[in-house]
Structure 1
Amino acid sequence: MGNRVFVIGVGMTKFEKPETKDWEYPDMAKESVTNALTDAGVAYGDIEQAYAGSAYAAMGQRALYDVGLTGVPIMTVVNACATGSSALFLARQAVKAGCDLTLAVGYEKMSKGSLSAGTGKKGPGMLDYHLKAMIAGRGWEKDKAPMPQMFGNAGREHMERYGSTPDHYAWIGWKNHKHSVNNPYSQFRDEYSLEDVKNATMIYDPLTKLQCSPTSDGSGAAVLASERFVDTHNLWDQAVEIAGHYIATDVTASFEGNSSINAVGAQVAKLAAQRALDEAQVGIEDVDVIELHDCFSANELITYEALGMAAEGEAHKLVENQDTTYGGRWVVNPSGGLISKGHPIGATGLAQCAELTWQLRGKADKRQVDGATVGLQHNLGLGSAGAVAVYKKAS
């Protein structure tokens, strides 16, 4: 048997608005992990290594001790908003190195309000390079929240350089909210008109409230297995291969020209996508369904270009052709994406994994993308980590 790695079980909680449900991060983790183990048909005692992700460094041991006390190695993973994908990346590496069964779990209990970028604190900050590039190129508005400002400036740069308009970004918000109507795990399941999205409270021009991901509580988990384990236990009907996975960090070009587009991760997404697609031996044209890190609608649009879905400066043409929804060339964020499903930081990458696993199994109910055989996951952590994974229907 080779060293291919398969997802054999996934689970998640419903993503919730902070402070609306009486639970703690071990409760969330137990729910998602139990669901994933049940889906896989294995016991927690069968797991050889576990990787637990929380951007706020909630200990992995405490997150999993309510599931079982087996002496298994548990590593706490922290990598900004790419934390969940980083836990998945490490769990996959462990299988490639010889484990038969590993677990990746991500979880977060968050506070209400916009995320901080570490501004105003003494000492080095994780976004020092990124903020410096954005400020040099576009300035800084002290009265505006930092994250919408960073991604909003990326959208403004695209509009000025390539001719996209606020309507293109609003359409992405409309699309993802529409997709979420069919996702029982989504924090928001309301459908809005395009006018509703455009006329919502302006957070940072061109981004209205309905184009921004909310803070959320929740958890996601995945059980990974070796090809040997899948074959021995005849799990081919439920297995989904992670055929390529890469996590890129910034290169010098990320900060050349003080581009806000690159400051929010376009370069790292491009590099990660190239590496992951090459490992999977597919092109972006072979992909059917994509879970993309749409923390803001502007990030979804610029990431179309980073993933190779559109040439530089032409991402808005995909919007005009409705190429990223059902009936188009790709279905992007059938789950509703971060904008509507929610964004509990440590859980996001595992929730993307769960959605793509369901899609490639043909078990995504009303969200199902017809005939999906290849999926792509894009998860961004400013500071900066660009994670891309390519999934294939098992064979």
Structure 2
Amino acid sequence: MTTRVFVAGVGMTKFEKPGAIEWDYPQMAQQAGTKALDDAGIDYTDVEQGYVGYVYGESTSGQRALYELGMTGIPIVNVNNNCSTGSTALFLATQAVRSGTVDCALALGFEKMQKGSLGSTFDDREQPMMRHLLALAELQEFAMPPAPYMFGAAGLEHMERYGTTVEQFASIAVKNHRHSQHNPYAQFQDEYTLQEILESKPIYGPLTKLQCSPTSDGSGAAVIVSERFVEQHGLGDRAVEIVGQSMVTDMNSTFDDKSAISLVGADMTRKAAERVYQQAGITPDDVDVIELHDCFSTNELLTYEALGLCAAGDGGKLVDAGETTYGGRWVVNPSGGLISKGHPLGATGLAQCSELTWQLRGAADKRQVDGAAVALQHNIGLGGAVVITAYRPAQR
């Protein structure tokens, strides 16, 4: 027997440039976790399981992080799934509650990152992305660093197939930087013109520096509870229901398509989205607000199409028509997205969950999307995994 599942509380730290302030991951986790518990109006002793996500860190860092909230002997699971780590922790917490195993679980993610482009930690074994990189090198000449190479190559392919322009990709960064001006949690809160985006440092293909997410430190958390828990604690007026959720990993098509777009996860996103829409009984037209994985501006445009917001090849048209910002059909990344809010890998998925919870409560201040009633979250990690989650307010 399954049960309905709700987000009862959320919390996050401000995302910071690595080394900008003196803190360590236990302090980040304490801040985000305490905010989430306080938001739900519960104590850590109410939590029955913990799922803690991080990419860069030693084994059992999850225990060390949650010990800042209490030491109650509960099961604590360490989670690492590349850039989708935070939403994977959310996925596992949701599964535990939906199955009836527990009534209250805590999903928490954090990252304490090194400055500069992402690098490997263990160089005496094959890198998990090697198969993807070798496949892509057959399509586009290899370049470093790997992440902008992969997503830049996907952008080049989209331009070649559909005539998408560098201005359309850059306009996505203009939008997300503009959105972040009103987000006190964002690493950057500066607005840029299209020309400034285009003239920033070239990285790869259509990508310039201001179209790339930065490395970041920070943490996010969410309290996940059952319907029974909501009723027992009187949380109905602020709880947000998870009405659909799916995780998909790489399929044969990732490599068989001989496509950079497939190699960066478009097929995973498409399949997960179809499942979530079916579970939730919604279509893309029912969605009001979206937080999606804009690690690079090219990926935001590719994700428009994979989520079914438009047909393949029409992502640029959505940008030109202003359909993905305030006044358009959807507001995408009101938080500023990864590009401007920041991207501490383990925390990103839970920061997205926090933003959408605030939006559905009508508590997002100047970022508020009018009448937001259905929200969609997309978080992807290469190598690969995508998690998509749909939300509705518990009472509306």
**Common topology (TM > 0.5):** yes
Alignment RMSD: 1.3
Q: Offset of 1:137 from its aligned partner?
A: 1.0
Tell me the residue number matched to 1:128. Answer: 130
Of 93, 102, 106, the residue aligned with 1:103 is 106
Q: Which residue of 1 aligns with 2:74?
A: 72
Instruction: State the alpha-carbon separation in 1 of the partners of residues 89 and 145 from structure 2.
Output: 28
Q: Equivalents in 2 of 1:223, 1:102: separation in Å?
A: 6
**Residue correspondence of structure 1 range 111-190 to structure 2 within 5 A:** 111-116=114-119, 121-141=123-143, 144-190=144-190
Contact 1:213 1:343 in 2 (8 A): yes
Paired with 1:122 and 1:268, the residues of 2 have a C-alpha distance of 29
Aligned residue type for 2:46: D
For residues 27-81 of structure 1, give each alpha carbon's deviation from its aligned partner in whole angstroms, at most 9, with x where no partner exists: 0000000000000000001100000000124411001111111111111111000
State the Cα distance separating 1:122 from its structure 2 match: 4.5
Distance in 1 separating the partners of 2:387 and 2:47: 24
- The alpha-carbon deviation at position 129 of structure 1 amounts to 2.4
In structure 1, what is the Cα distance between the partners aligned to 2:180 and 2:252?
Answer: 37
Map of 2:86 onto structure 1: 84
1-structure distance, mates of 2:205, 2:80: 31
Q: How far, CA to CA, are the matches of 1:50 and 1:117 in structure 2?
A: 27
Q: CA shift at 1:117, angstroms?
A: 6.4
Give the drift of 1:2: 6.5
Paired residue for 1:201?
201
Residues 1:293 and 2:293 aligned together: yes
CA offset digits 1:147-188 (Å, max 9, x no partner): 111100000000000110100010000000000000000000
Query: What one-letter code is carried by the residue in structure 2 that aligns with 1:49?
Result: Q
Aligned pairs for 1:182-331 (under 5 A) are 182-331=182-331
* CA positional deviation for 1:391: 0.6
Instruction: Write the distance in 2 (CA, Å) between the matches of 1:244 and 1:57.
Output: 31
| Contact 1:12 1:220 (8 Å CA) reproduced | yes
Is 2:2–2:99's contact at 8 Å kept on the other side of the alignment? no
1:55 is aligned to: 55
Contact 1:359 1:369 in 2 (8 A): yes
Aligned-partner SS, 2:117: coil
Contact 2:157 2:260 survives alignment (8 Å): yes
Contact persistence 1:243–1:279 (CA under 8 A): yes
TM (norm. structure 1) is: 0.97
Measured after TM superposition, the shift of residue 394 of structure 1 is: 1.2
Q: In the alignment, is residue 357 of structure 1 matched against residue 360 of structure 2? A: no
CA distance in 1, matches of 2:275, 2:123: 35
Q: Counterpart in 2 of 1:13?
A: 13
Could you say which residue in structure 2 is the equivalent of 1:394? 394
Compute the displacement of 1:234 (Å): 2.0
- The question of whether the paired residues in 1 share the 8 Å contact of 2:55 and 2:346 is answered with yes
Q: Is the 8 A contact 2:2 2:98 kept in 1?
A: no
Matched, 1:369 2:372: no
- Give me the whole-angstrom Cα distance separating, in 2, the residues matched to 1:211 and 1:191: 13
- Cα deviation for residue 97 of structure 1 reads 1.8
TM-score by length of 2: 0.97
Greater mean alpha carbon deviation, residues 152-161 or residues 225-234: 225-234
Shift in Å, 1:203: 1.2
Helix, strand or coil at the partner of 1:31: helix
The offset of 1:124, in angstroms, is 2.5
| Contact 1:117/1:146, CA 8 A, preserved across alignment | no
**Which structure 1 segments of 5+ residues have no match?**
none
Aligned partner of 1:339 in structure 2 is 339
AA partner of residue 148 (structure 2):
P
Give secondary structure in 2 for the equivalent of 1:386. Answer: strand
Q: Distance in 2 between matches of 1:57 and 1:96?
A: 29
1:177-234 deviations in Å (ceiling 9; x for gaps): 0000000000000111111111111111211111000000000000011001112222
Amino acid at match of 2:352: Q
* Percent identity (aligned): 59
Give the Cα–Cα distance (whole angstroms) in 2 for the partners of residues 57 and 279 of structure 1.
35
Contact 1:56 1:108 in 2 (8 A): yes
Tell me the alpha carbon deviations over residues 318-366 of structure 1, each in whole angstroms, 9 at most, x when there is no partner: 0111100001010000000000000000000000000000000000000
- The alignment partner of 1:213 has SS state of coil
Counterpart CA distance in 1 for 2:54 and 2:356 is 21
Residue in structure 1 matched with residue 380 of structure 2 by the alignment: 380
Letter of the 1:78 partner, please give it: N
Aligned equivalents of 1:133, 1:274: Cα separation in 2: 26
Give the distance between the partners of 2:161 and 2:264, measured in 1 at CA. 16
Is the 2:238–2:393 contact (alpha carbons within 8 Å) kept by the matching residues of 1? no
User: What amino acid does structure 1 have at the position aligned with 2:228?
Assistant: R
